[in-house]
């Protein structure tokens, strides 16, 4: 199993062993540590820049192996571009550092930009990007049937002018990075390993970082009447669970912010079964719940000054002799009745009960739900933006801002009466599918019927949480999308 880097901060100096990483902007001026290494190697960096036609563009890199006159294995030069750098750029640069290390066992990174010190926050953001990029889910790869040897982690020393300050910032950012990696692990795990019970145990494990955790099983869910959620689970031999994770880091009197996650550990579609092609991806249909769990880890581990609750509905959607049928009518916890048109529109049934429960039980400041809810959001937005739907302009603006800062971006789509009408049912209060048109919107309209007048945002992460492309900070598939976005929303707007 590949190990994550061992990251530490030390006072800025010129590295003399292993791999040295330096940054240059588009001026290609070599000063500070880069200048010193260039001089000591009789201009090797300068010559390599010219030979490779390296332009210093943001996150582009150049490798110089075995530079003359130095004991270094290699020097890596990474471009800073020519714009002012923002948080997301530093995170990306950190990813680029990790991605350029190759087989290096020992690497030192000079955290300066053309000879001037990088701010402590930026140093920590580079560490975050490096850790996110290093993550690889290779748990199930063997060497000829034997567990792979655990490889030594790269020892990554970040050389900063204000190393102590940077290390302090990293204590916070590492909590957020770890939350993101937890979300990735949960999404990557196959459904035979991570069922509702096993996922609930992962939620329970947040007690180690100070969360208060409660797990509701079949009997409790029946007793409180979560029949919409239970209807989804009834085709599975695995018992549904609802996990509630609380972090009360704010004032006693303060209402909590609540995050709600769809945790369908596998979505076959049920009786309205999905086609075989690509169905394996539906192990990621708990991406919303994974994000909520990762976020709660981050908030707990960094001791956020906020009262926050994460609640996730863990079920498996299977076809079975006992499975729910199209035409069935279920009574949700809210009392509203739902005609099942398509058993594959199951996520909204799970969320309906969780949203109602959260509204009544927690009297929240706001509720944000995350769900891999519709294929239609992929058609609309691809994997660039998550779709958001809301009854609160203010909350949407805050979320959009957090999206820009973290580059976990969102795009708002409309709600409205005409869309709401599409889910009226002849036989019940509503139906669980509004048909092909505006599929992501009608799904959101369905959820809206369960939120009352609480400020609420629904984030459809079907395009962003799973089956994600490779980037500078991710090797792909499970992205951990949403953890950094929501942590930032909380930090900028809801912490004391
Ligand atoms: N889990 C799926 C949505 C999904 C699709 C997530 C692709 C990730 C990638 C969801 O439960 C679903 O099946 N939605 C249906 C709704 C339809 C039956 C109204 C869909 O999108 O087709
Ligand atoms: Mn489905
Ligand atoms: Zn689903």
Neighbours of ion ligand 3 (CB under 5 A): 264, 267, 285, 347
* Alpha helix ranges (H) inside 135-276: 163-188, 196-204, 218-224, 227-233
Q: Is the pLDDT of residue 406 over 70?
A: yes
Q: Is the pLDDT of residue 1 over 90?
A: no
pLDDT at 34: 97
**Is-same-fold flag (6-162; 176-493)?**
no
Residues 71-130 pLDDT 10s = 999 999 999 999 899 999 999 999 999 999 999 999 999 999 988 999 999 999 999 999
| Separation of alpha carbons 414 and 387, rounded Å | 10
Can you tell me which residue has the tokens 């005609």? 339
| Separation of alpha carbons 432 and 424, rounded Å | 9
Residues 162-189 pLDDT 10s = 999 999 999 999 999 999 999 999 999 9
Q: Is 327 left (phi over 0), alpha (psi -120 to 50) or beta?
A: left
| Separation of alpha carbons 74 and 269, rounded Å | 52
Q: Is the pLDDT of residue 243 over 70?
A: yes
The 8-class DSSP code of residue 471 comes to: B
pLDDT at 152: 82
Which residues lie with the beta carbon below 6 Å from any ligand 1 atom? 267, 285, 342, 344-347, 372-376, 433, 439, 462
Ligand 3: centre distance to CA 285 (Å): 5
Ligand 1: centre distance to CA 440 (Å): 9
Of the listed 227, 348, 431, 448, which one is catalytic?
348
Q: Is the pLDDT of residue 403 over 70?
A: yes
Tokens of 244: 């509630």
Please state the rounded mean pLDDT for residues 29-45: 97
CA–chain centroid gap for 407, Å, is 11
Nearest CA owner, ligand 1 atom 3: 374
From 231, 283, 344, give the residue whose CB has the most ligand 1 atoms within 8 Å, as the site to mutate: 344
pLDDT at 3: 85
List the end-to-end C-alpha distance of the chain, in Å, as a whole number: 40
* Mean pLDDT for the chain overall: 97
Helix (H) or strand (E) holding 106: strand 106-113
Q: Are 67 and 97 in contact (CB under 8 A)?
A: no
pLDDT band at 2 (very low <50, low <70, confident <90, very high): low
Kindly list the domain boundaries of the chain, sorted by start residue.
6-162, 176-493
| Separation of alpha carbons 232 and 33, rounded Å | 60
Tokens of 226: 């979560």
CA–chain centroid gap for 151, Å, is 26
Ligand 3: centre distance to CA 365 (Å): 27
pLDDT at 144: 83
pLDDT at 95: 98
pLDDT at 135: 97
* Domain 6-162, CATH among 3.40.718.10, 1.10.540.10, 3.40.220.10, 1.20.120.80: 3.40.220.10
pLDDT at 132: 98
Residues 318-336 pLDDT 10s = 999 999 999 999 999 999 9
Residues 221-241 pLDDT 10s = 999 999 999 999 999 999 999
176-493 — its CATH code?
3.40.630.10
Question: Helix, strand or coil for residue 404?
Answer: helix
């Amino acid at each position: 199993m590949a190990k994550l880097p061992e990251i530490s901060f030390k006072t800025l100096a010129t590295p003399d062993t292993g791999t040295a990483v330096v940054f240059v902007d588009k001026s290609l001026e070599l000063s500070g540590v880069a200048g010193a290494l260039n001089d000591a190697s009789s201009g090797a960096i300068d010559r390599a820049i010219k030979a490779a036609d390296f332009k210093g563009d943001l996150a582009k890199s150049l490798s110089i192996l075995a530079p003359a006159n130095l004991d270094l294995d290699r020097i890596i030069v990474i471009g800073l571009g020519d714009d002012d750098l923002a948080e997301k750029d530093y995170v990306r640069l950190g990813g680029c550092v990790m991605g350029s290390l190759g087989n290096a066992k020992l690497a030192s990174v000079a955290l300066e930009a053309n000879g001037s010190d990088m701010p402590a926050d930026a140093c920590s953001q580079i560490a975050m990007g490096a850790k996110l990029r290093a993550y690889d889910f290779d748990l199930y790869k063997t060497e000829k049937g034997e567990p792979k040897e655990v490889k030594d982690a790269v020892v990554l020393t970040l050389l900063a002018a204000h190393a102590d300050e940077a290390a302090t910032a990293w204590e916070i950012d590492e909590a957020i990075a770890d939350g993101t990696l937890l979300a990735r692990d949960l999404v990557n795990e196959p459904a035979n390993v991570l069922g509702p019970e096993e996922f609930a145990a992962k939620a329970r494990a947040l007690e180690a970082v100070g969360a208060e955790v409660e797990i509701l099983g079949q009997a409790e869910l029946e007793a409180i009447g979560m029949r919409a959620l239970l209807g989804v689970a009834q085709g599975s031999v695995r018992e549904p669970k609802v996990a509630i994770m609380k972090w009360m880091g704010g004032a006693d009197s303060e209402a909590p912010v609540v995050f709600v996650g769809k945790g369908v550990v596998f979505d076959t579609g049920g009786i309205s079964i999905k086609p075989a092609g690509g169905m394996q991806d539906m192990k990621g249909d708990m991406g919303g719940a994974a994000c909520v769990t990762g976020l709660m880890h981050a908030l707990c581990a960094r001791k956020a000054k906020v009262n926050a609750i994460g609640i996730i509905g863990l079920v498996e959607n299977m076809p079975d002799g006992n499975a729910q049928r199209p035409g069935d009518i279920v009574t949700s916890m809210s009392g509203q009745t739902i005609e099942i048109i398509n058993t594959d529109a199951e996520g909204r049934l799970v969320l309906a009960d969780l949203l109602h429960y959260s509204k009544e039980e927690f009297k929240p400041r706001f509720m944000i739900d995350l769900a891999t809810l519709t294929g239609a959001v992929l058609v609309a937005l691809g994997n660039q933006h998550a779709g958001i739907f809301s009854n609160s302009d203010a909350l949407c603006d805050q979320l959009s801002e957090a999206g820009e800062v973290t580059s976990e971006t969102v795009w708002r789509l409309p709600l409205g009466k005409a869309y709401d009408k599409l889910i009226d049912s002849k036989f019940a209060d509503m139906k669980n599918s509004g048909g092909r048109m505006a599929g992501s919107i009608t799904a959101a309209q369905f959820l809206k019927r369960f939120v009352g007048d609480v400020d609420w945002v629904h984030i459809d992460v079907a395009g962003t949480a799973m089956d994600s492309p490779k980037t500078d900070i991710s090797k792909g598939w499970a992205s951990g999308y949403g953890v950094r976005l929501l942590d930032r929303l909380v930090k900028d707007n809801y912490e004391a």
